[in-house]
Amino acid sequence: MAPDLDRDAEGALTYVCVPGCAYTGSTLLGFLMNAHPECASIGAATGLTPKVEVETYHCSCGERFADCGFWQRVGRRTVELGHPVDVLANNYWTTHFAPTRNRYLDGLLVRNLRNAPLEDLRDRLIGGLPPIRALVQKPAECSRALAQAILEETGKRVFVDTSRDHQRPKLLASSPRLDVRVIHLVRDARANTASILKHQTTDDTAEAARIWERANRQADAGRKHHAPEKWLTVRYDELCGDLQGTLDRISDFLGVSRAPMPEDFRAVENHIIGNEMRMGGPGQVHEDVSWKSRLSDAQLEIIQRVAGQTNRHFGFDWP
């Protein structure tokens, strides 16, 4: 039986966004939330990136993505719902807020301008124009169709989207058909900077720290677009150090029952897209503290100078 997806006010579907920085643990959180009996996650609902080779890409279930029955059914159901999502497209899906597919025009119309006052002015001046509203409405409706199709397929009622897009919660919240909740997942600046360096996003420690600082500041700035009860900040170290307690706090925030975490979260059926973590590794949670041996004193000084104040802002006890 399909879940009661319209149990919230005005028939709004509960849609959870997880903005934040890259390499902060969002894929892990997606797996954990998917293991909850009332929540479903497929990772980032913006879809497959341009780097993905669809013919060789695999779903986390182990099937070749193009052959996965789950994704075939979900794709067909979005067509039936009137807002088709081509799940085999590898340049993001129609759920992604890049309505013109022009990097510069999208940047001007809907993307983060890295200047809050300018962004507010942009939204006031052109955000209400009918053509712009229509451009924003399409990915919002496609996102709802995707979420509804997945919730019907899984028999669950809360959808968790781990896309780290800072603008996504605000843009989705413009739809009265979505009850948007936000979990801002934050990792210690030292650990996150080390992961950015490890994955060769940059080899400049200061730039890696700025990436962390900018991403989390921009995510946190989105609070003003949501009621306080719709926003929850979760630290990665809390998630790993007190897994059940943190998941219970998230469950309370989402209005779902508290549920014990399975011994192996990967044992629960999953169809996660995203980084290589989706394909293997332990089904238990262990905090990655390898940064303690990888970062030099000089690098720690740089991170402190660039991101120390923001790290404190999010409740970490360093510096």
62 lies in a domain?
A: yes
179 lies in a domain?
A: yes
317 lies in a domain?
A: no
pLDDT surpasses 90 at 102: no
DSSP string, 182-242: EEEEE--HHHHHHHHHHTTS-S-HHHHHHHHHHHHHHHHHGGGGS-GGGEEEEEHHHHHHT
200 lies in a domain?
A: no
Place of tokens 């992961």: 195
The pLDDT value recorded for residue 131 is 83
Going by C-alpha positions, the residue among 47, 74, 91, 16 that lies closest to residue 255 is 16
Place of tokens 């998230």: 250
pLDDT surpasses 60 at 3: no
Place of tokens 């899906």: 93
297 lies in a domain?
A: no
The pLDDT value recorded for residue 10 is 53
Instruction: Tell me the whole-structure pTM to 2 decimals.
Output: 0.92
Q: What is the pLDDT of residues 71-83, one digit of tens each?
A: 999 999 999 999 9
Residue 239 lies in domain: 9-186+227-288
244 lies in a domain?
A: yes
Q: What is the pLDDT of residues 185-242, one digit of tens each?
A: 999 999 999 999 999 778 999 999 999 999 999 999 999 999 999 999 999 999 999 9
Rounded to the nearest integer, the mean pLDDT of the chain is 92
Cβ contact 277:28 at 8 Å? yes
The pLDDT value recorded for residue 276 is 78
CA angle (188, 194, 197) in 5-degree steps: 140
Q: Which residues have C-beta within 8 Å of that of residue 263, sequence separation ≥ 6?
A: 283, 284
The pLDDT value recorded for residue 28 is 93
319 lies in a domain?
A: no
pLDDT surpasses 90 at 91: no
Domain count, the chain: 1
Q: What is the pLDDT of residues 115-166, one digit of tens each?
A: 778 888 888 878 778 888 888 899 999 999 999 999 999 999 999 999 999 9
**What is the rounded end-to-end Cα distance, in angstroms, of the chain?**
52
192 lies in a domain?
A: no
Q: Which residues have C-beta within 8 Å of that of residue 96, sequence separation ≥ 6?
A: 46, 47, 139
pLDDT surpasses 70 at 6: no
What CATH code is carried by the domain that includes residue 87? 3.40.50
